[in-house]
Structure 1
Amino acid sequence: MNKHEQYFNYSFLSKEDINLFDEKGFLVIKKILTPSGLTQMREECMKAWNAQKQAFDPSKSWLQNSLLVNIHHQSSVARNYYFEGPLVDIASQIIGPNIKGATSQLTFKMRGNTKPFGWHQDNGYGELEPYNALTTLTALDDTDRGNGCLWLIPGSHKQGQIKVKQTEEQKTKQAEIIVDADEDLAVPMEMEAGDALIFNCWMLHKSDGNYAGDRDRRILFLRYADADAVEVYNNRKPRLGRLVKGSSIFEEVRAFEKEL
């Protein structure tokens, strides 16, 4: 028995799953968290959130209201899920044998947060090469159109990296990177709590505001990348992240966060 099976449901993608991912650019993994895992993840993530965040404040930026970075430093169940959970094997089926964690954060739209987040690619915010990074969103609440679920455009990853220029002022203010998209092609990614959505780094996606009134929309965002992925926007320096499978040509990656 895997030491984390109390919290996580382990599985592998079938050949049909992988073909569908290649064609559509996304998959939903049902009930990747067990009921115990979902309860523990909520408790630990909310403890971290409440220690640093307040109620939604419309005068604050989307970063202040919606993001808490490096949640794996503050939650043992999130850390185990990130480094040793079922998403690691799933990522290796899509990316390859050498994998590192690239991002861990909470992406919350708490009740009252009606701010939408426009169309973008995750690789637009942190361009990594090779272009096979994988975004994973694990729902801690039922997510639907009422509380601001994700929308995406199936197959949009096939257009590749969309180059977006930002002014220095926009970079300083950490402004959103919005791209054009055909709204008629969009589909809502409604999920049950405990499900995970995985998608290609070039997938066009957005989210609307949370208009549910009495419900939150809490998501655990984990990103995985090739162990040798470099940051195109940062003079091609290696993206630092803990190795979760295989090895890397970069010594700084091999040594990163070994204490955790």
Structure 2
Amino acid sequence: MTYRVTDEQARFYKREGFVQLDGVLTEQQLEELAACLEEVMRDHADGGDNPELERVLRMKMNTWRDSGGMAKYSLSPYLADIALQLAESSGLRLFHDQAFWKMPGDSKATPWHQDATYFPMKESDVMTMWIPLEDVNETNGCLSFVPRSHRAGKLDNVDFVKPVDLFELAKDTAAAGHEPVAVPLRRGSCTVHHGLTFHYAYANRTDKPRRVLTIVYMPEHATFDGSSRHPLTMGLNLKDGDAITGNLFPVLARRG
């Protein structure tokens, strides 16, 4: 099974910092992935003691370590190859996967943020593949992106419960003046966005959870930012500039 990213889509990603890709997963794959995700999220641990964070997102990191079924997708060479077709690096490693459920009822929007500000690598050209398990729109929590905001550079990371105004921080950057674009998706489609692209998710105003698997890819030769503290690199005795390698960060796609 292969998926060919068109030249137009690759140019769009490079220029705008995000891209929509349709028909990435089949209905059978979605049913399998949904069943695996339901299983690992039954015992979710991340953020469960923070009711305010749960209003924004219910989440679990590195589901692939808990479930062979999740590993089938999070470590998928097929999905990693799609990301590699958009990347400029020679290969891609997994940094982590993350399940995000935006719960119904008392839901809050996910504030504007840049993914790369949370990650412990010097390189900013990380990529997030965002795979919803149902149709998503502005009613149940689709993403919105600021085109070309990946050229603004790395700003501060944003607390999801008490967020700063990312647009105030970016008023004198390349992101200024670009209007956000909402990206509704049909089930089976996904988006891929650059680590510096500003993005936001609407609140879920429906009566069902909005379920998403994200896969974060980093360049094959990504290096550790010694000033960062991240749970996935703590305890690895990495020094500033060391390559982030090993079984916890496997290479999933490589050119040639």
TMscore range, shorter length: 0.7 to 0.9
- Give the Å deviation of 1:76: 2.7
2:95 to 87, 102, 119: 102
1:72 alignment partner in structure 2: 64
Which blocks of at least 5 consecutive residues in structure 1 are unaligned?
A: 248-260
1:228 alignment partner in structure 2: 221
Cα 1:183–1:210, aligned 2, differ >3 Å: closer, same or farther? farther
Cα 1:176–1:103, aligned 2, differ >3 Å: closer, same or farther? farther
2:21 alignment partner in structure 1: 29
1:158 to 130, 151, 155: 151
Cα 1:63–1:230, aligned 2, differ >3 Å: closer, same or farther? farther
1:17 alignment partner in structure 2: 9
1:180 alignment partner in structure 2: 167
- Taking structure 2 as the reference length, the TM-score comes to 0.79
CA distance in 1, matches of 2:122, 2:107: 34
- Taking structure 1 as the reference length, the TM-score comes to 0.78
CA distance in 2, matches of 1:136, 1:165: 19
CA distance in 1, matches of 2:102, 2:134: 11
Cα 1:84–1:148, aligned 2, differ >3 Å: closer, same or farther? closer
Cα 1:165–1:144, aligned 2, differ >3 Å: closer, same or farther? closer
Between the aligned residues of both structures, percent identity stands at 20
Which blocks of at least 5 consecutive residues in structure 2 are unaligned?
A: 169-175, 229-239
**Count of aligned residue pairs for this structure pair:** 231
CA distance in 1, matches of 2:107, 2:55: 14
Cα 1:82–1:52, aligned 2, differ >3 Å: closer, same or farther? closer
1:219 alignment partner in structure 2: 212
CA distance in 1, matches of 2:103, 2:140: 9
- Give the Å deviation of 1:98: 2.1
2:192 alignment partner in structure 1: 198
Does the Cα contact within 8 Å between 2:56 and 2:108 map onto a contact in 1? Answer: no
1:43 alignment partner in structure 2: 35
Give the structure with the larger helix fraction.
1
Does the Cα contact within 8 Å between 1:12 and 1:89 map onto a contact in 2? Answer: no
Cα 1:238–1:67, aligned 2, differ >3 Å: closer, same or farther? farther
Cα 1:77–1:176, aligned 2, differ >3 Å: closer, same or farther? farther
Moved more, 98-107 or 174-183: 174-183
Q: Deviations over 1:199-230 (max 9, x none)?
A: 11110011121112x12211101010111212
Cα 1:189–1:57, aligned 2, differ >3 Å: closer, same or farther? farther
2:236 alignment partner in structure 1: none
Tell me the SS of whatever aligns to 1:129.
Answer: coil
CA distance in 1, matches of 2:190, 2:38: 18
Q: Deviations over 1:153-205 (max 9, x none)?
A: 1111122222x289xxx7xx996565126697111111111211001111001
1:144 to 115, 133, 137: 137
CA distance in 2, matches of 1:194, 1:95: 25
1:239 alignment partner in structure 2: 244
- Give the Å deviation of 1:52: 2.8
Cα 1:177–1:48, aligned 2, differ >3 Å: closer, same or farther? farther
2:83 to 79, 91, 100: 91
**What is the aligned-residue RMSD (CA, Å)?**
3.0
1:258 alignment partner in structure 2: none
Moved more, 153-162 or 123-132: 123-132
